[in-house]
Amino acid sequence: MGLNIAMLSIHSSPIGDLGTRDTGGMSVYVREVAQALGRLGHRIDIFTQHSSDRQDPVIDLYDNVRLIHLSGGVNGNIAKSDLYEYLPNLLFDLKSFQSRQRVAYDVVHSHYWLSGVLGAMIQEWWHVPHLVTYHTIGVVKNRVNHTEKESEVRLANEKRLADVCDGIVVPSAKEKEYLIQYYDAQPDKIWVIPCGVNLERFKPVDKAFARRRLAFSNEAIIVLYVGRYSPVKGLDHLFKALSYLGHLDSLRLVLVGGDSEHSRMYEHLQSVAKGLNIHHRLVFAGRIRQEILPVYYSAADVLVVPSHYESFGLVTLEALACGTPVVATPVGAMKTVIQEGVTGYVADNLDARHFAQLMEAMVLKQREGDLSPAEIRTSVTEWTWTRSASLLLEAYQTWTDA
Ligand code: UDP
């Protein structure tokens, strides 16, 4: 018999605009695992906050998957920074929905600490197992980001959650180590379950066609970045690395994602690029829908992941699935996913000159035809969301079968 699963994704909707400040890998994760669990015959209700008057309170997303918008008593969007205060209101809405619908949930899986706090309230109320996925860990973010600090409330709640929840799901072994080191999490309640990639969506597109479509010349060296413009993403590091590659005249760095051209981060990046005299080599492509992203991945010589911190790093799997190699810093799942010299390189450290050398080496390999897009894609074909969902089920069933 299928399970009734409540997923909490309060601060970021699984159908939000990917690439914006607070909407990225977590939304993709929730959407994809829910869809895969639904296909396996389980029923999933994803709870998020109401963000616009026009949204239906309940949307049928996929087979067996519903998206439920909770208003928290507010007409419109509640800013992320205010959400903590509104959690009791959202709890009220969630409980009303559950009793109106008479659904008995077998398990609650919350995403990010704000949903975790809500999940911990629900866990007591419904007496159901509660699993948490942090997606990012506040203490680790603070260690690498010196411009914005995560709040004490966040850190204290993350530590408390590690203690009170029944299970923690992390996407990489590194995250498990961090949770043990910083929050004293019990190792035996942490499940390492890797993320996946949608292999139907992310597949190679003919390179010449992709370049024509994006108006990139065949001769240009295209280095691609895909992601949010958050300080942890290491764009400063990447720009510095690029400044060491002045001898590669035709190199262009294409940046996909980010907030509008009027955002503070965009202006900051422009001024850093000007300071390093690399601004003429940048192409700001803006946010691109996932359906179109394979054209970007396929047009590129290499995808770069210059992050100071990632809990996993989905864009790496997406690029590899499109047959494009990746050069990355040693974060998240990079060392597990990338095969050294065959599908990319993982830097030993965060030194920008070293990163530049790896980018150049990978571009050279690409130019000399030393890489096989087919082999690169094959290297990730086992990383499916169906696998992630099956492993999640094993975790859920530890309690539901007991
Ligand atoms: N993404 C997108 N369009 C953009 C930028 C990003 O669809 O313009 C998607 C990308 O395909 C990936 C996700 O956003 O699935 C980013 O996930 P990742 O794990 O790389 O980073 P996170 O956002 O979790 O830090």
pLDDT, tens digit (0-9, with 9 covering 90-100), for 78-102 = 888 999 999 999 999 999 999 999 9
| Element of type H or E holding 89 | helix 83-101
Provide the domain limits for residue 66.
4-196+384-400
pLDDT, tens digit (0-9, with 9 covering 90-100), for 171-229 = 999 999 999 999 999 999 999 999 999 999 999 999 999 999 999 999 999 999 999 98
Are residues 222 and 154 part of one domain?
A: no
Q: Are 312 and 171 in contact (CB under 8 A)?
A: yes
What pLDDT score does 134 carry? 98
Are residues 231 and 188 part of one domain?
A: no
Best residue among 18, 320, 326 to mutate for probing ligand 1's pocket (most ligand atoms within 8 Å of CB) is 18
Are residues 255 and 392 part of one domain?
A: no
Are residues 178 and 215 part of one domain?
A: no
Ligand 1, pocket residues at CB < 6 Å = 18-19, 24-26, 28, 226-228, 256-257, 287-288, 290, 293, 312-315, 318
pLDDT for residue 50 is more than 90 = no
The total number of residues shown for the chain amounts to 402
pLDDT, tens digit (0-9, with 9 covering 90-100), for 374-388 = 999 999 999 999 999
Are residues 352 and 391 part of one domain?
A: no
**C-alpha–C-alpha distance, residues 115 and 156, integer Å:** 14
pLDDT, tens digit (0-9, with 9 covering 90-100), for 325-368 = 999 999 999 999 999 999 999 999 889 999 999 999 999 999 99
**C-alpha–C-alpha distance, residues 4 and 187, integer Å:** 27
What is the average pLDDT score of the chain?
Answer: 94
pTM: 0.96
What pLDDT score does 264 carry? 85
Distance 292 CA to ligand 1 centre (A): 13
Does the residue 201 lie in any domain? no
> How many structural domains are present in the chain?
2
Q: What is the DSSP letter of 340?
A: B
Are residues 396 and 362 part of one domain?
A: no
Distance 388 CA to ligand 1 centre (A): 18
Are residues 339 and 394 part of one domain?
A: no
pLDDT for residue 54 is more than 70 = no
Distance 227 CA to ligand 1 centre (A): 5
